[in-house]
């Protein structure tokens, strides 16, 4: 039976280890966000038209991107757990998503520091006193974050609606792809706002999607079979050595 108040009774040591690991990745990823990184040389400097775009406000601010990419997957996980009347499902899938999100933050920020690519609006940002972020064009953080969260929702929907096991339809496929459309729109705004090049958003989108996919398949049984959308069976948890009392 699904009851958020009994989450503690459904936790296992494996859950705790996975949650702690994800938390560490998240914290390290946020620390990387604040560190200085490599600075790629700019040919011709202020005569290089590729880095002379103006500084605009983000169409989708970072905080809104963060809220969307976190809250929507959690809502979907909650609804599917309630449908199954399974607290264990909620715990397991939430931790998988949290790990996916944290790994994405860590990897994206690490690559940003290592690449040190100047943004298209580089000199506008430098003139505004934001030198550190001016060298964080590759890959796009908005793109990786949105595709990470929306890909997770799409995978959940594909499994839940049995899109790929012969029982799906074009309508269920369309519904499952809608979150990715949202992610794509947000990603494209990053070029419209002159914060990224197209290859930056492509790289971010791929990173976020792959991490989400790999995280999903580690916990879920299948996307293709009759047990699509289901996680490991909740059998005899009270006798599991990993069970937390």
pLDDT digits (tens, 9 = 90+) for 119-171: 999 999 999 988 889 999 999 999 999 999 999 999 999 999 999 988 778 99
Q: Is residue 183 part of a domain?
A: yes
- On the question of pLDDT at 235 being above 50, the answer is no
Split into its structural domains, the chain has a count of 1
Per-residue pLDDT at 144: 98
Query: What is the spatial distance between Cα 77 and Cα 87, in angstroms, rounded to a whole number?
Result: 11
Q: Is residue 24 part of a domain?
A: no
For the stretch 75-100, pLDDT in tens is: 999 999 999 988 999 999 999 999 99
Q: Is residue 39 part of a domain?
A: no
- On the question of pLDDT at 239 being above 90, the answer is no
CB neighbours of residue 71 within 10 Å: 11
Q: Is residue 45 part of a domain?
A: no
The string of DSSP letters for 124-175 reads: HHHHTT-HHHHT--SS-HHHHHHHHHHHHHHHHHHHHTTTTTTS--HHHHHH
Q: Is residue 38 part of a domain?
A: no
Query: What is the spatial distance between Cα 108 and Cα 171, in angstroms, rounded to a whole number?
Result: 33
- On the question of pLDDT at 35 being above 90, the answer is yes
Q: Yes or no: say if 33 and 133 are a contact pair by the CB < 8 Å rule.
A: no
Distances (CA, A) of 37 to 25, 118, 134, 155: 19, 11, 11, 34
Q: Is residue 27 part of a domain?
A: no
């Amino acid at each position: 039976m699904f009851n958020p108040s009994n989450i503690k009774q459904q936790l296992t040591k494996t859950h705790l280890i996975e949650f702690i690991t994800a938390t560490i990745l998240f914290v390290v990823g946020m620390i990387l966000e604040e560190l200085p990184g490599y600075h790629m040389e700019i040919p011709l400097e202020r005569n290089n038209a590729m880095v002379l775009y103006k500084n605009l406000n983000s169409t989708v601010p970072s905080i809104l991107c963060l809220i969307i990419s976190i809250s929507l997957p959690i809502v979907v996980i909650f609804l599917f757990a309630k449908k199954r009347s399974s607290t264990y499902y909620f715990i397991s899938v939430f931790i998988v998503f949290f790990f996916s999100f944290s790994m994405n933050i860590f990897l994206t920020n690490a690559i940003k520091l290592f690449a040190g690519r100047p943004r298209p609006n580089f000199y506008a940002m430098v003139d505004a006193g934001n030198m550190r972020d001016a060298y964080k064009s590759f890959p796009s953080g908005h793109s990786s974050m949105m595709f990470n969260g929306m890909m997770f929702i799409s995978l959940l929907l594909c499994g839940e609606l049995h899109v790929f096991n012969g029982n799906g339809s074009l309508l269920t496929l369309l519904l499952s792809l809608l979150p990715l459309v949202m992610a794509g729109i947000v990603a494209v705004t990053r070029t419209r706002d002159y914060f990224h090049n197209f290859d930056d958003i492509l790289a971010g989108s791929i990173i976020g999607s792959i991490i989400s996919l790999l995280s999903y398949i580690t916990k879920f049984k299948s996307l293709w079979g009759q047990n699509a959308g289901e996680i490991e069976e909740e059998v005899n948890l009270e006798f599991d050595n990993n069970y937390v009392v």
